Amino acid sequence: MTQDIHDLVIAGSGVAGLSAAVYAARADLDPLVLEGDEPGGQLTLRPDVENYLGFPEDVGGMELIQRGKEQAEQFGAEFQHGSIEDADLDGQPLELSLSTGDPIYTRSLIVATGASARWVGAENEDELMGAGLSTCATCDGAFHRGDDVLVVGGGDSAMEEALFLAKFADSVTVVHRREELRASEIMADRARDHEDVQFRWNTELEAIHGSQEEGVTGATLVSHPDGYPREKAESGIDVERETVDVGGVFYAVGHTPNTQFLDGTGVERDEDGYIFTQTDDAGRPTAQTAGVFAAGDVADPRYRQAITSAGTGSMAVLDAEEFLETLQDTGESTVTATA
């Protein structure tokens, strides 16, 4: 049978995807937005967003996402539950296989599926994420003025988080499971030299204490002189445990971009899975694979801010619109799909 071909499919319904949906719908591209398994993405875990332009009284992450969806729907964007499990991006139209079992055909695709922060598996982290437990110091550091906080990690991101938090917190303790950092020497030295940043070596976070109402009130740390104490505890080896009073915990153990469905396609990614973006001679982003564009955290291992994601969402639509115009000029937009 003949299958409808969309002009544009947007994979992801976080800030990048919703920004793209608004721009695309206003451009009469009739975008289809695939909401994914976790509609709204990581921002929905944030109870308060203070640094998004236009909300001087702050706004809840869930409310911000819902407003964005309503705005996109107002202009005609269509939303569908489901995520992409496989993709054939060779030629026209592009073919997407969804988790629902349905195929979708489209002339262009914006990948805005985000990046998931890695968690450490500490007790109570599910309950306290967004209530004193965070994966973004830039987003939530200002809520911890005067607190003692923990940063879990040992790479450059952990050092950056610790140094940023030191602007607000009374003390910052970096918890690392080894006695050597993975961070670059310059970042490690900056953190070590800061008077408000301490280190707990050969130590891991075992549990976080508190509640949604009170927030984080403390944490249980485990340590062993040879490092990797949780692994040793699970093997029956004696470890030391200590409960500390803290007002916040920040995970800085990396992110995993949600780009697994691009395996086997021509879309190039770095060793961590982030999509490489290319630029033309004028410095504008261009598609690596014809008709495929990236927006938000899938192509941004550095900034990971709602405001930057929104910007790249609009940019991706402008590029996709230009690409679709070239298809019309060559007559390729008349291709039909059968299923």
184: domain CATH number is: 3.50.50.60
- Percent of the chain beyond pLDDT 70? 92
Q: Which domain holds residue 173?
A: 125-251
Query: Residue 107 above 50 pLDDT?
Result: yes
Residue range 269-319, pLDDT digits in tens: 988 889 987 666 665 555 567 899 999 999 988 888 899 999 999 999 999
Same domain, 247 and 260: no
Active site residues: 136, 139-140
Position 288 scores a pLDDT of: 61
The domain boundary, picked from 251, 284, 302, lies at 251
- What average pLDDT does the segment 157-185 reach? 94
Same domain, 7 and 46: yes
- Same structural domain, 213 and 129: yes
Q: 241 and 143 in one domain? A: yes
Among 251, 269, 288, residue at a domain's last position: 251
Are residues 146 and 80 located together in one domain of the fold?
Answer: no
Same-domain status, 145 and 246:
yes
**Whether residue 332 sits in one domain with residue 271:** yes
216 or 116: which leads in pLDDT = 216
Q: Are residues 67 and 10 in the same domain?
A: yes
Do 271 and 310 lie in one domain? The reply is yes
pLDDT at 318: 94
The predicted pLDDT at position 280 comes to 63
Instruction: State percent of the chain over pLDDT 90.
Output: 70
Tell me the per-residue pLDDT of 227-238, one tens digit each, with 9 for 90 and over. 999 999 999 999
More confident residue, 233 or 337: 233
**Three-state SS across the chain?**
CEECEECCEEECCCHHHHHHHHHHHHCCCCCEEECCCCCCHHHHHCCCECCCCCCCCCECHHHHHHHHHHHHHHCCCEEECCCEEEEECCCCCEEEEECCCCEEEECCEEECCCEEECCCCCECHHHHECCCEECCHHHHHHHHCCCEEEEECCCHHHHHHHHHHCCCCCEEEEECCCCCCCCCHHHHHHHHHCCCEEEECCEEEEEEEEECCCEEEEEEEEECCCCCHHHHHHCCCCCEEEEECCCEEEECCCEEECCHHHCCCCCCECCCCCECCEECCCCCEECCCCCEEECHHHHCCCCCCHHHHHHHHHHHHHHHHHHHHHHHHHCHHHCCEEC
Whether 138 and 105 share a structural domain: no
Are 113 and 261 within one domain? Answer: yes
Region 155-162: mean pLDDT is 91
Report the domain count for the chain: 2
The reply to whether 163 and 106 lie within a common domain is: no
Domain boundary at 205, 232, 251, which? 251
